[in-house]
């Protein structure tokens, strides 16, 4: 059987499974559509949360980022730390409050339609920008493994999500995400086990990374440091130079992650507050399986890539381009690997583009490798069996689709429940609201497809923008809403607007997508950044501005009504909590 046929078999079988689950778990009420009827058990909800959490960025991009240097482990620390913040500080209390959505909580806690509207805007900005990356990731995976264009891949992904998300709602999405988690974790860990065995003789990648490299007899990370150093790159395990920026970047990822609405809504799907805590713990276990494997995959994939180009060592002649392995040829067709023979010697020179290797007769780096391919190409680089490649194809697509579905549901519920039901037409029937929810979902999918096909100018930084918006607007308002009785509606709205505006303007100033005709972005370099803080890290500063403005305005104005203050107490403490759980 050809590799294409194997890929089609794995991917096609997974699609049949997802659509079958959606038909079986079809949502029949608004509660089932928004929160799966509130009856999902802790373990399946933990698996669904993990699948929702581990997007295309986690599955495809994270190991690629870490492979460039371990300093990029800040992505891993930020995303994992953010989940811990969410699980400990937000999820149980939001579940006790008993609402369907984040804007629902904000509107009731701050007794204001204005606050609800600002929360809806922040949610839509976060979710729409984040979903672009999921659609693009699905397009790349389809393009490579199903041998179609990335545009066709995005349309295929949209069609599958349309069927199981519009029909199933949160109920269908939840059980689909359980299946998607199983697919993606097997797809991620099985190749890692094979490669760890090849390079270190240890079947546990997390241990193999710190073990001995079989061929050289050196510790694997020491061997990798030696190879990258000889090619002019910074040591793989080198320390970060700008520690302030790294701290702020990690913090921005943490609080941005804790404020992602599509993950928060998952904790509304369990029957009890205790189940929310339990499912948070299970989700952390399921997430850890992939996140602890990612550094091993990154280091081993980087070593495999470099030794492919320099099979005899970097001091020996590089690989003849005509003798390049099949996996290089395959990925060249996607445009994610590019070769330019600058010195016309027919060999592939691959090294740090800023390094001077003229003494070796090298006329400049000749190979461009998109780091996103490392996880997807890993089985091919290591010459693993065809079924492993088929499995990773299904896993990559599952990772993108699972998060896309969660984001699209968050968008749909914000429009149908928080805008139409609560603000525009409070008297709408449940049947009418269900129709509005499904139409909103369908429109959201079409918008996401269009943005995936025609990404705006800031597409390369959409993750930074999404996390920055969530960090500067959603996370602070949830924290203040739960833990401060004194924050009133005026303070909450002022803080959200101030934090959101500062963050968005700062990011757009450097990413070249401003709204003022004739203006140019500032050079995106440390010399131009405010106190050396990059646009990727600015969400944490926006969060501080949100907190400061909210508290300042709240303490200069009248306190919230007593019933609202009592409601905050009932959410945080068992006494009187029953009043807060009714919907």
Q: Is 413 helix (H, G, I), strand (E, B) or coil?
A: helix
Helix (H) or strand (E) holding 34: helix 30-35
Pick from 137-146, 200-209, 468-477, 554-563: least confident: 137-146
State CA 17 to chain mean position distance: 23
Give bridge partners of residue 5 from the DSSP assignment.
Answer: none
**For residues 26-33, average pLDDT:** 83
Residue 563, strand partner residues: none
CATH of 3-300+384-452, one of 3.40.50.410, 1.20.1730.10, 3.40.50.1970, 3.40.50.12780: 1.20.1730.10
Q: Which two tokens stand for residue 301?
A: 């994939």
The angle at the Cα of 128, spanning 276 to 278, to the nearest 5 degrees, equals: 10
Averaged over 255-278, what is the pLDDT? 86
d(CA 491, CA 553): 5
- The model's pLDDT over 112-127, given as tens digits with 9 standing for 90+, comes to 899 999 999 999 888 8
302-331: average pLDDT: 85
Q: Which residue has the higher pLDDT, 171 or 134?
A: 171
Write down the residue that tokens 């007593």 correspond to: 562
Integer Cα distance of 52 and 362 in angstroms: 46
Instruction: Check residues 374 and 459 and name the one with the higher pLDDT.
Output: 374
Q: Is the pLDDT of residue 499 over 60?
A: yes
Alpha-helix residue ranges (DSSP H) falling in 342-474:
373-381, 386-413, 430-453, 462-469
Per DSSP bridges, beta strands 337-339 and 367-369 are antiparallel
Q: Which of 14, 158, 86 is nearest to 451 (CA)?
A: 158
Handedness of CA 124, 125, 126, 132 (dihedral sign): positive
- Average of pLDDT values for 336-343? 86
Closest CA to 63 of 541, 335, 495, 399: 399
Q: Helix axis angle, 489-511 relative to 462-469, nearest 10°?
A: 160
Q: Which residues of 46-78 are buried (b: 16+ CB within 10 A; e: fewer)?
A: bbbbbbbbbbbbbbbbbbbbbbbbbbbbbbbeb
Domain locations along the chain: 3-300+384-452
The closest alpha carbon to 463, from 295, 293, 249, belongs to: 249
Q: Quick check: 552 pLDDT over 90? A: yes
Nearest to 40 by CA among 261, 278, 285: 278
pLDDT in the model for residue 486: 93
Nearest to 470 by CA among 504, 441, 493: 504
pLDDT of residue 577: 41
**Predicted pLDDT of residue 502:** 94
Judge contact between 42 and 279, C-beta under 8 A.
Answer: yes
| Alpha carbon distance 547, 193 (integer Å) | 45
Q: Quick one: CA torsion of 108, 113, 118, 120, rounded to 10 degrees?
A: 70
pLDDT over 50 at 576, yes or no: no
Pair 126, 470: CB distance under 8 Å: yes
């Amino acid at each position: 059987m050809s590799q294409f046929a194997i890929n089609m078999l794995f991917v096609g079988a997974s699609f049949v499974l997802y659509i079958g689950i959606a038909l079986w778990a079809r949502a029949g009420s608004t509660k089932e559509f928004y929160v799966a009827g509130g009856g999902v058990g802790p373990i399946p909800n933990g698996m669904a949360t993990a699948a929702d959490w581990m997007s295309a960025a986690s599955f495809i991009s994270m190991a690629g980022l870490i492979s460039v240097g371990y300093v990029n482990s800040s992505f891993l620390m930020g995303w994992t730390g953010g989940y811990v913040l969410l699980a400990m500080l937000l999820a149980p209390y939001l579940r006790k409050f008993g609402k369907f959505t984040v804007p629902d909580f904000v509107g009731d806690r701050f007794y204001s339609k204005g606050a609800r509207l600002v929360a809806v805007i922040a949610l839509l900005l976060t979710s729409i920008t984040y979903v672009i990356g999921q659609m693009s990731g699905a397009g790349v995976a389809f393009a490579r493994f199903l041998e179609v264009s990335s545009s066709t891949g995005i349309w295929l992904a949209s069609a599958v999500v349309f069927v199981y998300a519009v029909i199933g709602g949160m109920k269908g999405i939840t059980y689909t995400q359980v299946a998607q988690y199983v697919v993606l974790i097997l797809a991620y860990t099985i190749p890692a086990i094979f490669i760890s065995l090849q390079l270190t003789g240890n079947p546990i990648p997390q241990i193999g990374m710190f073990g001995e490299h079989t061929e050289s007899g050196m510790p694997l990370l020491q061997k990798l440091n030696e190879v990258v150093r000889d090619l002019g790159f910074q040591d793989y395990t080198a320390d970060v130079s700008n520690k302030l920026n790294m701290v702020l970047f990690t913090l921005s990822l943490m609080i941005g992650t804790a404020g992602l609405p599509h993950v928060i809504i998952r904790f509304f799907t369990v029957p009890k507050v205790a189940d929310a805590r339990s499912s948070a713990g299970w989700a952390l276990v399921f997430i850890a399986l992939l996140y602890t494997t990612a550094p091993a995959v990154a280091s081993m994939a980087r070593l495999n890539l470099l030794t492919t180009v320099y099979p005899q060592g970097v001091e020996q002649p590089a690989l003849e381009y005509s003798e390049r392995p099949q996996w290089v040829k395959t990925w060249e067709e996607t445009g994610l690997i590019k070769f330019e023979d600058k010195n016309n010697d027919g060999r592939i020179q691959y090294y740090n583009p800023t390094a001077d290797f003229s003494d070796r007769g090298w006329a400049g780096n000749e190979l461009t490798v998109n780091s996103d391919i490392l996880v997807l190409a890993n089985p091919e680089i290591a010459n693993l069996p065809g079924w492993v490649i088929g499995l990773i194809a299904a896993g990559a697509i599952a990772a993108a689709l699972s998060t896309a579905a969660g984001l699209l549901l968050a968008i749909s519920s914000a429009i149908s429940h928080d805008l139409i039901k609560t603000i525009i037409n409070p008297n709408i029937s449940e049947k009418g609201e269900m129709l509005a929810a499904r139409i909103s979902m369908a429109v959201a999918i079409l918008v996401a497809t269009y943005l995936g096909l025609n990404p705006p100018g800031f597409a390369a930084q959409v993750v930074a923008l999404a996390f920055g918006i969530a960090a500067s607007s959603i996370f602070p308002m949830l924290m203040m809403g739960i833990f401060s009785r004194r924050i009133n509606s005026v303070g909450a709205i002022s803080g959200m607007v101030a934090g959101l505006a500062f963050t968005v303007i700062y990011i757009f100033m450097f990413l070249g997508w401003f709204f003022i005709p004739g203006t140019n972005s500032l050079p995106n370099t440390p010399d131009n950044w405010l106190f050396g803080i990059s646009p990727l890290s600015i969400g944490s500063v926006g969060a501080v501005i949100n907190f400061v403005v909210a508290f300042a305005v709240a303490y200069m104005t009248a306190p919230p009504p007593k019933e609202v203050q009592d409601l905050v107490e009932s959410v945080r403490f068992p006494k009187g909590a029953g009043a807060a759980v009714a919907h």
